[in-house]
């Protein structure tokens, strides 16, 4: 339905797709890569409130009812998006009730994902935080497989999770040494799902320390 009226745009790592407080006129469907959604406090501190990927949500969807974007959207790697104007999207919703239902579902999924990310960031144990983040980032379709693309470097994961890069490297090396994961460049391989879940839940028996 929207194929003839959308714009396909690519962004480089660190590019701002839209900024918090900027007048809103479009939503963005992520078709490649991951987009970080974050708010900025008056003192300049960044708070991550969500992540958008080809499997999860639309960036800027809440702006349909607002005149300004409530958060910023920033590319974490090479990103490709479809840019759709509010006017076009609302016209399509008016003509197609099924599209409206799908958008409601997308909003619900985005809220659930944001809550899950908030829980990840709330972990005080660095190992639990990293394991929870890995599990959160796995596409639903990949749960039965042992490997999937990992779009973040150790440094980017550290920035996202509020940890030092050295801490992320050490803990992931511990996870690898104890057989839970393997993380060659650009890829994550899960070898022990139960162990990774135990680390995320804080139930590991001291094998991986923070």
Tens digits of residue pLDDT in 167-204:
999 999 999 999 899 888 777 888 888 899 999 988 76
Q: Give the residues across from 37 on adjacent strands.
A: 50, 73
The pTM score is 0.65
Q: What does the pLDDT look like over 46-67, one tens digit per residue?
A: 777 777 877 666 777 666 777 8
pLDDT at residue 206, rounded to an integer: 44
Distance CA 170, CA 151 (A): 19
pLDDT at residue 188, rounded to an integer: 83
Taking residue 100's Cβ as centre, other Cβ atoms within 10 Å add up to: 14
pLDDT at residue 156, rounded to an integer: 75
Kindly report the backbone phi and psi dihedral angles of residue 43, in degrees, each rounded to the nearest multiple of 5, phi listed first. Answer: -80, 0
Name all domains of the chain by residue range, CATH numbers in brackets.
7-121 (2.60.120.10), 126-200 (1.10.10.10)
Taking residue 209's Cβ as centre, other Cβ atoms within 10 Å add up to: 11
SS3 31: strand
Chain-centre distance for alpha carbon 25: 22
Structure tokens at 119: 């829980």
Neighbour-count burial of 203, counting CB atoms closer than 10 A to its CB (0-12 exposed, 13-18 middle, 19+ buried): exposed
- 31 compared with 108, residue with greater pLDDT: 31
């Amino acid at each position: 339905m929207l194929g003839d009226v959308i714009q396909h745009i690519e962004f480089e790592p660190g590019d701002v797709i839209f900024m918090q407080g900027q007048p809103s006129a479009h939503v963005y469907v992520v078709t490649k890569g991951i987009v970080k959604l974050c708010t900025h406090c008056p003192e300049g501190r960044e708070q991550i409130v969500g992540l958008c990927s080809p499997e999860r949500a639309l960036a800027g969807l809440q702006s349909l009812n607002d005149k300004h974007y409530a958060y910023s959207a920033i590319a974490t790697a090479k990103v490709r998006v479809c840019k759709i104007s509010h006017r076009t999207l609302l016209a399509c919703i008016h003509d197609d009730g099924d599209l409206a239902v799908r958008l409601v579902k997308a909003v619900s999924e985005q809220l659930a994902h944001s809550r899950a990310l908030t829980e990840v960031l709330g972990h005080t144990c660095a190992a639990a935080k990293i394991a929870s983040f890995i599990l959160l980032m796995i596409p639903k379709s990949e749960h039965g497989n042992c490997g999937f693309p990992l779009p973040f470097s150790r440094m980017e994961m550290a920035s996202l999770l509020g940890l030092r890069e050295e801490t992320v490297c050490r803990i992931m090396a511990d996870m690898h040494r104890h057989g839970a994961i393997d993380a060659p460049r650009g890829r994550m391989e899960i070898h022990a799902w139960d162990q990774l879940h135990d680390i995320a839940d804080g139930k590991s028996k001291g094998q991986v320390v923070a």
